[in-house]
Amino acid sequence: MEEIRCGQCARKLAVGDYRRLQIKCPRCGTLNDLRAESPTPERRGASNREELTHDHDRTAGSAPAKEAPP
């Protein structure tokens, strides 16, 4: 569990697990917009895939095996 504190006055607001949370501090009235940080390398994976596909396409194009039936 995680401690959720006000970013303005550091008052403890709640304790728990969250992905995204909006909580208004009753002391100073600041609306705290919190989100749990989770490193997801989605962009890297997509880029890698694109490169791989491109490479494969290139190799297939240079090999005229399909255009030469027996």
What's the chain's length in residues? Answer: 70
Pattern 29-68, Zn ion, x by CB under 5 A: -x--------------------------------------
Pattern 7-26, Zn ion, x by CB under 5 A: -xx-x-------------x-
Spell out a b/e string for 47-58, using b for 16 or more CB atoms within 10 Å of the CB, else e. eeeeeeeeeeee
Question: What six digits make up the tokens of 58?
Answer: 């290139």
Q: With contacts defined by CB under 5 A, how many residues of the chain interact with Zn ion?
A: 8
Question: What six digits make up the tokens of 46?
Answer: 């997509």
The residue ranges that bind Zn ion (CB under 5 A) are: 6, 8-9, 11, 25, 27-28, 30
